[in-house]
Amino acid sequence: MDHTANWEQIAGKWKQLRGEARKKWGELTDDELLQIDGNREMLAGKIQEKYGIAKEDVNKQIDEWAAKLKV
C-alpha cells in the first residue's frame, strides 16, 4: 500500500477522522488534534511526546491505524 497516497486521503478527511485518532491515542487533546490538522509528522511528534515511544514505533502505530481506516 502506498502510505503517502493513503495519508493524503486521511489528511483530506481529518475533521471526520479526528475522533478515530482520539480513540486510538486518548492522551491527545481535541485542541492538539485540531492543531495537527492531518499533518502526519505533527501527529507522530505529539504521540511521541505524550507516550514516550520511539519514532519508528510511532510510525508503525500510525501505519497500522491508517490501514484500518475506511477512507
pLDDT in tens, 15-49: 999 999 999 999 999 999 999 999 999 999 999 99
| Dihedral over alpha carbons 43, 48, 49, 50 (to 10 degrees) | 90
pLDDT for res 1: 45
Q: Is residue 69 a contact partner of residue 1, using CB atoms and an 8 Å limit? A: no
What is the rounded CA–CA span in Å between residue 69 and residue 31? 22
Exposure of 37 in the CB half-sphere (CA atoms within 13 A): 1
Q: What is the pLDDT, as a whole number, of residue 25?
A: 98
Q: Are 18 and 28 in contact (CB under 8 A)?
A: no
The correct answer on CATH 3.40.50.10860 for the domain covering 3-68 is no
